[in-house]
Amino acid sequence: MAWFSANINDTLSAARSNTWTTIITVFSLAFVYVQYRRSPWRKLPPGPKGVPVLGNIFQLGKTQWYTFTEWRKQYGDVVYLNLAGQPAVVLNSLKAAADILDRRAGLNSDRPSYIVASEMMSRNMFMGFTPYNDLWRTMRRASHEGLHKAITPNFHPTQMKEAAILASEIISTPKNWDNHLRRAATSVIASIVYDTPTLKSEEDPLVMEVNQFTARLTKAALPGAHFVESFPWMKHIPASLAKWKQIALESYKKDTSMLTGLMRPVRNQIAAGEDRPSFSATVINDKSHNMTEAESAWLAGSVYAAGAETTSAVMAWWVLGVIAYPDTLKKAREEIDSVVGRDRMPTFDDFDHLPYIRAMAKEVLRWRPVAPLGSPHRSTEDDTYEGHFIPANTILISNIWSINRDPLVFGPDAHEFNPSRFITKDPKTGETMLVPAPYDTKDEHHVAFGFGRRICVGRYVGNDSLFIDIATLVWAMNIEYVGKRPIDLDGYVDEGIVIRPPTLQVKFSPRSPDVREIIERTLEEFGYQK
């Protein structure tokens, strides 16, 4: 009987225990369900399904701007991706990008973490990688003061001289036209930033040194370049045990020495009382920024590296545009000849009277953005956009390619090179003029310069260089495609910061016998000697 009573007690005790277990389990499941229903993560933007853990990382491919553009058709203007646990959002439309990156810039102006490229190789002083902090804000103010729209006329003589040298070089050795574009772009930005004399060759030691510096940083920032980007604890490994860390730290020392050395002649000029305009001089003279010598040097180097790469790539795409669409070159010639004539070269005094040339510069930046995915931003706070949750620490990718080619904004022929899309007639005077820029393009007629507080600080200088280079080459040169195969409009070469067209078989020749003489006379007026 005692055995039976004990068994009954054990059974009742077990039942009570099971009841409590059931109750706890039910309440736990209910709590989890309620939390799940309330979780904002249920409201992430739509996007492609990925694989466990790694998410969508294997679905990206090399030409991600094409992939994202296709996904826009399926998932919409805002697409969510899981990149091995890192949330990312692709912005495929002008409205979405402007709403999030412009109008909510305070939440979305940071950069993704680049442990090797930024923390180690540049101590967060390379402006393109610098986090959204006080140093970045100081650099931004300083760069604006050195490159704002009102100051750019100071650089016009240099840009006109370099455009004339470019035309002269192409006439002398037309097969090397792409190298001449690279030399001219680098020489202009070097002069603007450091007040250096004209670079004689694309193989100038200064060109090579800065190109190597840019390539090192760019390579280090590429996804998958270093395991430490996925396993941040590795940055605490002593440099003596990690060769990659030794290389990164040595690179910082080498590049800092190079960049401070580039600014030293400007400092010496200022100390000697010479007042010569340059970006470096503006930064040095304004003591209110309180930047260290290294910070100033890295800021100048950031501007130089960005400008040297982009302008020549845009000009290479322009060459592709005019050989693929020869009617555009014909229209440009007609405008140049009617305004400038054949007895002198174009100048910035012709700017207001050459709307088609200006439209050409805008169109090539729209048609073939050299950075088709822009530069990624990073959100710093949770946010909601049109009912979709965007968590803090999300990488925000603006698909410049898709935005610039949106037929709803730029017309059904948005995939074609057509500067006339930006041309109209003044209803009062009948004169040719640029159409008003699409809303949210900041009077640029495209978004190739980026968004928000991270918009390209050198865009005014870049626009001026493109204008005078295009005007000069249209005035001076016949440009013809001589390849035997059809022109490849989809090919590209990835050079890290920018993409360029593949090698083009193009014939350049002077438009008239006296072109060379007029160019040489112009160069003499600038005091240039070969």
- Output helix, strand, coil percentages for the chain, rounded to the nearest 5: 60, 10, 35
Are 155 and 464 within 8 A, CB to CB? yes
Are 183 and 199 within 8 A, CB to CB? yes
Under the phi-then-psi rule, with left for phi > 0, alpha for psi from -120 to 50, and beta for the rest, what region is 491?
beta
How far, CA to CA in Å, does 85 sit from each of 113, 395, 510?
A: 14, 11, 57
Are 456 and 306 within 8 A, CB to CB? yes
Q: How many helices (H) and strands (E) does the chain have?
A: 16, 12
> How many Å apart are CA 164 and CA 526, to the nearest integer?
10
| Dihedral pair phi/psi, residue 459, rounded to 5° | -65, -30
* 321: nearest Cα among 406, 445, 186, 420: 420
Q: Is there a binding annotation on residue 456? A: yes
Q: Which long-range contacts (CB under 8 A, 24 or more apart) does 91-94 make?
A: 91/396, 91/397, 91/398, 91/399, 91/403, 92/68, 92/399, 92/402, 92/403, 93/402, 93/403, 93/406, 94/403, 94/406, 94/409, 94/438, 94/440, 94/441, 94/447
Q: Which residues are annotated as a binding site for heme?
A: 456
Q: Which residues are annotated as a binding site?
A: 456
